[in-house]
Amino acid sequence: MLHIFRNGELVELESTEQSFLQDVAARLPDLSPQLQRAADYLLEHPDEVAMHSLRGVARKIGVTPPTLSRLARALNCQGYEDLRNRCRNEIRNRNISLADKIAALQSDGREPGETRQAFAVRHAKAAVTNIETTLAELDIETLRRASERIAAARNVFVCGALSGAILADYLVYIASTSFANWHRLGADHMTEATGVAMVDRDSCLISIGFSPPASRTVELTRICRTRQAHVLVLTDRPTNPLVPYADETIYAATRSPQFFPTHMSFILLIEILAGMLAKRGGKDAIDRATTIAATKLALGEHFIR
């Protein structure tokens, strides 16, 4: 039987309630090699199946569209659309509360003295796996195209709220070392309304949001898109509500044994993007970095013995 946390308590699910993906995994050994290949992709990327067409997913897997139709029937689905709907339901069912996730973390069955070490190792391994996954699936051409557009923009705006706010602040901080035209929407010196009023067709917006994203981030992204800004979205899954507003989307893996997703892969993407932009900054970027370093020294911002 499958066990999950529901309303803070560990409960045993009836077979009819068990996860669709659990059922897929159980049927895997009985499938043909070709169907196993498609099922493996479904297990790893239910978000992709939920979002994209039969032909689009078949192309990503490297199989023919009829293979996915056969997989749907093998999984007792009425067709590919039924398969997509079951993946959507699976994603919705993942959205358990933070309290339930903490309860699961506290009840992992380990001894108190063992928990800290075991959890530290599991969390670190998850972060490393996320980074490796993010790099393996990173669309370099999309990132290159976005960096070209951002480097050429008159103004670049960054938005992110809740846990995304820290990453938005970090991106603006390091990018501002090379460029003077970066702005943080909602920063103390710039209200959201003041910042959005500056957005136009010559602007770029970098929107950072996890699933589910902050409502404010989605609304700011929508408004900036109506003002014809070029939008780059950094997010964790194709079903994120920010994705429809994006010209380019870059994904980062966030799975974790924690009650909260790990942000390590997002930090990696931010630092890669900042480095790609600095390479395009030319002499102006070097001059700005030199001036900032000298000013920090004069103000005594760094502790130097």
pLDDT, tens only, 72-83: 999 999 999 989
- Mean pLDDT highest for which of 52-61, 220-229, 250-259, 295-304? 220-229
pLDDT at position 12 is: 45
Q: What are the counts of helices (DSSP H) followed by strands (DSSP E) for the chain?
A: 14, 7
Q: Which amino acid is at 261?
A: P
Q: What's the total number of domains in the chain?
A: 2
Q: Is residue 281 part of a domain?
A: yes
Please indicate, yes or no, whether residues 161 and 242 belong to a single structural domain of this protein: yes
Pairing of strands 203-209, 155-159: parallel
Pairing of strands 230-235, 203-209: parallel
* Surface-to-core class of residue 13, CB atoms within 10 Å of its CB (0-12 exposed, 13-18 middle, 19+ buried): middle
pLDDT at 303: 74
* pLDDT tens, position by position, 146-157: 999 999 999 999
pLDDT at 173 over 50: yes
Question: What CATH number is associated with residue 81?
Answer: 1.10.10.10
What's the mean pLDDT when you consider all of the chain?
81
pTM of the model: 0.66
> Is 106 part of a structural domain of the chain?
no
Would you say the C-alpha torsion 119, 210, 167, 267 has a positive or negative sign? Answer: positive
Domain membership of residue 237 as a residue range: 137-299
Domain assignment present for residue 49? The answer is: yes
- Does residue 107 lie in a domain region? no
Res 9: pLDDT:
43
